[in-house]
Structure 1
Amino acid sequence: MSDATTPAPTPNKRSPASILVAVLGFAATIGVGFYAGQWVRDRFFVPSAKLEQGDRYRAELRGDEPQLGPSDALVTVVEYSDFQCPFCAKVTDPLKDAMSAYEGDVRLIFKHYPLPGHTAAPPAAQAAWAAHQQGKFWEMHDLLFENQKKLDDKSLEGYAQQLGLDVAKFNADRNSDAAKAAVDSDYASGGKAGATGTPYFLVNGRPYSGSLPAKQWREIFEYEREQARQLESQGIPRAEVYKAMMKDAKAQRGGGGPGKAPSQRDDGPDPSKTYRVPLDARPQWGPDDALVTIVEFSDFQCPFCKRVNASLADVKQNYPNDVRIVFRQRPLAMHQQARIGARAMLAAHRQGKAWEMHDRLFQSPSDMSEEAVKNHAKELGLDVAMFELDLAAAETEQMVKDDEAVANRLKSGGTPSFFINGRYLSGAQPYDAFKALIEEEKAKAQKLVDEGTPRSQVYEKIMAGAEEKPGK
């Protein structure tokens, strides 16, 4: 038979059922792959939790705080959080994920801990409290963390409308003395419990901090649940386990929290305004004619100051010619050796190695004794005798005091804080937060250059029209 008379092969037609089976099989493969990948990541790449096995501390609870999980849970997590803190937002999903694996055995109690310098955090906390009065705290909680860059008054009211709240009641509640008192009470509780930053947790009274991954939360829950079960086995009713644990818990771990209670704070810098921030020949990275100047106020023993260095490294990489970073000292009173670190960087600055000292200090924040910083100086190849003289010099201490005076004038109480061409940015923000403000200010600066201002005079020009300090 010739090719011309050979019948064409009949195409294979797949039935709808076989197509459905194939799709489901593909989806199952994807699902198995996802969970297998998650298992591999948790097993080999996420370190195990460092389990706290020491003293327990009692969180002061009013009894009206927002709660997820049953009151007779074997594990009680008290969270101190700040709606303007990026790490608080980051921990929400891992924490909920871990709790889902211990349904019925873990409860989460939320308490407000708006940090100094986070000017939008107290109003956001009061808004969440107001939503709680209408049974929608957790829904508002999620909206606030999803929209951390939009915590202004108009946005807060918009979230209430979005959640179907009685807006008139919401506005009255969030501006009430009761709302302020509740947030202040939570803040005082956190200070006594040992919170100096956020997020901070007491898990059955044991302290943890930071945006821990789900694997570590599960390990913490497992450990504390076993501890609680031992009490159950001794005849203590499940609903009384937490109370029994707290019977011998310590009443105080910290010194009361950084700064004033939220309702007692002065208005901080307005992020929409430009403030006059002098440079005063402080340590500088980047060219003198940069279009954008970032003045950083930092503390070498502040964990959030250390964390933000990753974002600043991205800034340096992506804006080598258009951004300069000027470092000013803001050692907080709660960090006992931070002042030595501040003087060490300034002493190293006199020998042209401020940033090398900066990096060494952040690498070893737990030991910032004079002996430790002298060792850093030796390892960096500095003239150690000269370094020791500068470290102890009254002039160096005065420079630290001058930096603190500038920060106080600007009402920048916490660390880290930044002024980007005079615009305020607070906290250990991700790179994208820096990028957004840098791009905005860079465009304004370029316009000044196009109109005839030399690049080297852009910052001076901006400062000429800047406000001296926040407030009326």
Structure 2
Amino acid sequence: MKSNWNVFVAVCVGAVAGFAIRDQMAKSSSLGSPLRNPQQAVAAPSAAPPGSDQIYKVTLGDAPQKGRAEAKVTIVEWSDFQCPFCGRVIDTLHQIERNYGSDVRFVFKHNPLPMHPDAPYAAKAAIAAEKQGKFWQMHDKLFEANNSRQPDALKQDKVDAMARDIGLDMERYQRDLNAPETAQAIRDDQAQAAKLGASGTPHFFIDGARVSGAMPYESFKAVIEAQLRRANAALASGVQKKDLYEHLIKDGQSGPPAPPPQAAPPPQARNVDPGDGPWTGAKKPKVTIVEWSDFQCPYCSRVEPTLKQILETYKDDVRIVWRNEPLGFHPNAMPAAKAAMAAFKQGNDKFWKMHALMFAHQNELSEAKYEEWAKQVGLNLAQWKKDKESPEIAALIAKDNSYAQQVGAEGTPSFFVNGKFISGAMPFETFKGAIDEQIRKADELLKKGTKQEK
């Protein structure tokens, strides 16, 4: 139980662990039961948190700001209005604001996490409020609701009521909230976060120095004091106040250093039936990769470029087979799986087109979007709707889920490379080691006269 719990906590505070785990997490994911990281329960020392000595080049763009543009310290935060840790850190940020006054400004960027179903709408509402000059009023209302720990506090009707309470023009609010550029602004913030390695929430850059998670005031203070010293030294050297932030980050890194290649995991060969589901890649493969995945799982989305690289590198030798494992704590995962498998009923290529749209727009998963994408893919809409709600599709997904437990694929994404288990969104090098080994074995068998199966 402890290991599953810690993985969920890590996602919310920014320590990304590789793949999403099920079971206990499903029982404890509501806002009514605040998650607690055992490491955070202990009073943190006043020393700066690890990693804060490295400066990153964090551009501000058009993000909402609070404080003077010429402040000595700029705190850029990536946050999620439904994340309990983002709510918890609000008091710390207020303390910083009180103690440092005009020396500090705050910049807010959006990163609604996929496991928080109400977060995307809240983020859009905040942007719509920003269009009317009331971002911070809406920000405060949303986090008051977050910290109330009421499970329905951020439902759409409650969020809309907040918009009315702060005096927004509701017709303009709805128009701005649903505008394509609003969703794009969120995706742009998330893309910048991913580039910087800010993979969880809350995540901060203080004059470019990273602070990950809802750290105590003393940890923030240590970083702020160090950055004040940098700022004062720059000003003393002749840097103009209006140019200070750009000067402080100009030599910063654009992203975290690439992790060293990981060796292939120890052999855990299992006899895994690929089934008759969606597949892509080689028609006569030497290596079959069976993947259990979830359309709302952030790690499943993260591994997609790696799978594309595998298919491009081994186009004549590797086939990837999809099997469904929609996790219980992802509310959009099961409806998405049904929509995708209903597309599969109309052709393997239709499934993969739907698959691509779902992962490309993972933060927008909804019944309205599934229908929009079904039209875009060119499905027979009436048949697709019928299949989507059919017992047959539900049974196919249930069968995949049940078989996942049987072979030990207990989280997503899980892979079997000719039966060899790889767990999580591992880098290309990890897959490459396993694939190359299986191709060598296949070549040896072919030389001995073994016939290649179709």
Task: Give the TM-score normalised by the residue count of structure 2.
Answer: 0.50
Task: Give the TM-score normalised by the residue count of structure 1.
Answer: 0.48
Work out which structure has the larger RCO, using CA pairs closer than 8 Å and 6 or more positions apart in sequence.
2
Higher radius of gyration, 1 or 2 = 1
